[in-house]
Amino acid sequence: MGDGSSNRTNSNSNKPEWLQQYDLIGKIGEGTYGLVFLARIKSQANRGKSIAIKKFKQSKDGDGVSPTAIREIMLLREITHENVVKLVNVHINHTDMSLYLAFDYAEHDLYEIIRHHRDKVNHSINQYTVKSLLWQLLNGLNYLHSNWIIHRDLKPSNILVMGDGEEHGVVKIADFGLARIYQAPLKPLSENGVVVTIWYRAPELLLGAKHYTSAVDMWAVGCIFAELLTLKPLFQGAEVKGTPNPFQLDQLDKIFKVLGHPTLDKWPSLANLPHWQQDIQHIQGHKYDNTSLCNVVHLSPKSPAYDLLSKMLEYDPRKRITAAQALEHEYFKMEPQPGRNTLVPCQPGETFVNYPTRPVDTTTDFEGTANLQPPLPVSSGAGSMPGGHGSNRTVPRPMNVVGMQRMPHQPMQAYNLASQAGMGPGMNPGGIPMQRGVPQAHQQQQLRRKDQMGMPGYPPQQKSRRI
Amino acid sequence: MADFLTSTHRAKWVFTPQHLVEKYRAANQRARQVLEKCGATLMEIDADGSLSYPEPQIAKANVEKHSRTKPLSIDEEQCIRVFFENKIQEVCKSFHFPHKIQATALIYFKRFFLQWSVMEHQPKNIMLTCIYAACKIEENHVSAEELGKGIQQDHHMILNNEMIIYQSLEFDLIVYAPYRSVEGFINDMQWQEFCNADDDFLQMLKTLQDTARLEVDKMMLTDAPLLFPPGQLALTALHNSNALHKVIDFDSYLSSIFSRQNPVHRESEFIESLNAINSLVRKYKFPERKEQSHINRKLESCWGLSSHDESKKREKKSKHKSKKNSSEAQNAPS
């Protein structure tokens, strides 16, 4: 499978063999890293099974294969957990050296679920669902953290939920493009550049910490928890674009407004953070006195939910609750208890919502691979597309604010990827396509143009050094 | 990552000696067949990134001209790999890269040439690309340009080979080197077994660790990393180091380790591994210069790079100046 025997390519209209395994349905997402497509498997064994294919652009600085793609692949190759997306396959398009990652498709994500409640159904998400989503998110995160992996980009759009099927309603943590192992790092983590989308970025990051820990993920979980309760982002700061460091004054201001100002008393290592020291007027000045998280999230200060939330939003990362501790919290022990299908409450009488399916832009072809099949009159997926070309033309979702693109992409259920990267016997052990002289893509250039805004978290043109 | 037990390294890249021999034989056999068929064995990376063996036209000419071109034997391939594995250590030292990067690059290089023969891919290019990839994976990014500059090589060659390396490694990019395991055992000795340690003892542990690292350096140049898990390599290195410095009672330390383990590992099994690892290190031999240059000439003729007009043609076609670079590196004294 995979790129294995694409040397037979020429006999089949120049379409790489790996691509022929799929019927392309359309584009479901776009980000600085590239594009995400929905496709269906053609082969007998899994016919019709939905797959999300994430296409990575080449790294923009002309420095080889995208580190974002490499991080995602190398980490996902090593981990298996029910609440973490699982890589099904990796494909290489040799024409432009781009990578395609195939995941099982998840119909929903927290961004869409929250939006649906806010804009369409006009009532909050039921308690069972909130608690189950949170529990599974923490469960996946606890697994990652105990394997020394920090995610560094947790936000509602990266938390997927499976649609109909055996895993209906199961949470999958996705998008490992910023994730890394933090055990024994060779360089300070801050050298990876800015991490975490601004609204979910922990205060130690905003204040310029050189070293940070898995606690940054727990802050993001706290923000997501609050957003599940209130249907709007907890700290909705306006981002100043184009800065090379994670400092964002308005974001800090939004946090201070709700949580009060941090003090050296409660957070002793605050004194060492660069932006705390530098910006005395704004950061150390006490603007807000009457702050109250419980009013913002409409929780009683005595409720277990509030207790858990406030422990996730603890300023001092050393005191912040860990994923393992959070799973043991009283909140999860009282009724309603969390369940596996987060979307369908086990208790009768509770309403459950039918969430809409993900919008698909059926007019978009696999960019960069379309060029591999010039003789074909239609795009690769069009032939098999229900409704045909353009009948259901849905524009891919708008970017979600502050310049952070949604990164919808999908999860799970892997087969052994081992066999797919080639290594079959015979003359082509790398399983590397043998065809020659396929015309170069002009699509590549379009991709590059879109890619000009900096990738959050990608080392900002970091000059490499010898250490 | 913390968990070696569930890693791809443990599941897929620790071989039995027989399996290893089979893999070397298969790659060698394939290159031999190509040589017979095409007259040359070197794979080329085309503009579209795909790989190919020499074209039939060139091949024909080669078959006639170099009908006596002989393939490398498995042992000769081994010599070439040994030479470049030493080079990896050299280059990494000259860049002052941490041990972790050197070890990752070495393991990548070893795994790559389990899949391919040195007759198919120029080991010098692969070596540099492995170092580049190791820097990327260990989050110690160095640009291809800078790496190329530091060793006076065209960095495009590195970029051209990068994807083939990931693919040949089957995208199993997280590897476990014994250096960290050495550290772990030293910490263990310090905190769990000998917690009443004074400064002298700590200093001796430091010496023990330093010598053990050097022992690991030696192991990393043999097949041992493909045959044994990193913990066993580290423990063997510490054993050897302790034999020299006599810092701890190693037998009782071993017993204490194995008593804490579940019965999956037995001490007797480890002693077998220890002997096997030490025997690999003892048998290791760096090829003599004369032998080396003889093999190099043979290898270049397998690549189809020995005749001038042929190499010119190829040079035009491929982006990187393979001929020039390779002969430079090969002939350079180590």
DSSP track, A392-445: T--PPPPPBTTTB------------GGGTT---SSS-TT-------PPPPSHHH
> What integer pLDDT is reported at residue B264 of this predicted model?
63
Is there a single domain that holds both residue A317 and residue A256?
A: yes
> What integer pLDDT is reported at residue A368 of this predicted model?
43
Active site residue A253: no
Examine the pLDDT at A224 and tell me if it is beyond 50. Answer: yes
Residue A6 parent element (H or E): none
Q: What architecture does CATH give domain B4-174+288-323?
A: Orthogonal Bundle (1.10)
Q: What Å distances lie between residue A252 and A38, A239, A268, CA to CA?
A: 38, 11, 18
> What integer pLDDT is reported at residue B304 of this predicted model?
80
Tell me the mean pLDDT in the region A49-77. Answer: 86
> What integer pLDDT is reported at residue A4 of this predicted model?
38
Is there a single domain that holds both residue A47 and residue A171?
A: no
User: Among the listed ranges A458-462, B191-195, B265-269, B275-279, which one has the minimum average pLDDT value?
Assistant: A458-462
Examine the pLDDT at A454 and tell me if it is beyond 50. Answer: no
Question: What are the b/e assignments for A130-142, b being 16+ CB within 10 Å?
Answer: bbbbbbbbbbbbb
Query: Quick check: B232 and B265 in contact, CB under 8 A?
Result: no
- Give the residue, B92 or B56, on which the prediction is more confident: B92
Is there a single domain that holds both residue A367 and residue A311?
A: no
Residue A155 domain-assigned? yes
Is there a single domain that holds both residue A60 and residue A21?
A: yes
Confidence of residue B39 (pLDDT cuts 50, 70, 90): confident
Domain ranges of chain B: 4-174+288-323, 178-283
Q: Which of A23, A153, A361, A365 is catalytic?
A: A153
Q: How many domains does chain A have?
A: 2
Confidence of residue A382 (pLDDT cuts 50, 70, 90): very low
Query: In chain A, which residues have their Cβ closer than 8 Å to the Cβ of B51?
Result: 428, 430, 432-434
Confidence of residue A14 (pLDDT cuts 50, 70, 90): low
Phi then psi dihedrals of residue A345, to 5 deg: -65, 140
- Give the residue, A315 or A45, on which the prediction is more confident: A315
Examine the pLDDT at A438 and tell me if it is beyond 50. Answer: no
Q: Among the ranges A155-159, A261-265, A356-360, which has the highest mean pLDDT value?
A: A155-159
Confidence of residue B44 (pLDDT cuts 50, 70, 90): confident
DSSP track, A71-116: HHHHHHHH---TTB--EEEEEEETTTTEEEEEEE--SEEHHHHHHH
Contact B145 A63 (CB under 8 A): yes
Is there a single domain that holds both residue A77 and residue A135?
A: no
Contact A437 B145 (CB under 8 A): no
| Cα–Cα dist A415/B202, whole Å | 48
Examine the pLDDT at B312 and tell me if it is beyond 60. Answer: no
Tell me the mean pLDDT in the region A34-61. Answer: 85
Q: Does B29 touch chain A (CB under 8 A)?
A: no
Tell me the mean pLDDT in the region A395-420. Answer: 32
- Give the residue, A282 or B214, on which the prediction is more confident: B214
Is there a single domain that holds both residue A114 and residue A99?
A: no
A:B CB pairs within 8 Å: 157
A26 DSSP β-pair partners:
A38
> What integer pLDDT is reported at residue B51 of this predicted model?
75
Residue A460 domain-assigned? no
> CATH for B178-283, among 1.10.10.520, 1.10.472.10, 3.30.590.20, 3.10.20.30?
1.10.472.10
> What integer pLDDT is reported at residue A407 of this predicted model?
33
Is there a single domain that holds both residue A229 and residue A293?
A: yes
Confidence of residue A440 (pLDDT cuts 50, 70, 90): very low
Residue A467 domain-assigned? no
For the four alpha carbons of A314, A319, A322 and A324, in that order, the dihedral sign comes to negative
Is there a single domain that holds both residue A30 and residue A119?
A: no
> What integer pLDDT is reported at residue A463 of this predicted model?
32
Residue A346 domain-assigned? no
Cis geometry, peptide bond prior to residue A262 (ω within 30 degrees of 0): no
Expressed as residue numbers, the domain containing A288 is 108-332
Q: Does B321 touch chain A (CB under 8 A)?
A: no
Examine the pLDDT at B314 and tell me if it is beyond 70. Answer: no
Question: How big is the CA angle at A381 (ends A377 and A385), to the nearest 5 degrees?
Answer: 110
Query: Which residues 176-235 on chain B approach chain A with CB closer than 8 angstroms?
Result: 180
User: By CA distance, what is A6's nearest residue in B?
Assistant: B50
Q: What is the 3-state secondary structure (H, E, C) of A173-229?
A: ECCCCCCEECCCCCCCHHHHCCCCCHHHCCHHHHCCCCCCCCHHHHHHHHHHHHHHH
Residue A455 domain-assigned? no
Give me chain B's average pLDDT, please: 84
User: By CA distance, what is B138's nearest residue in A?
Assistant: A186
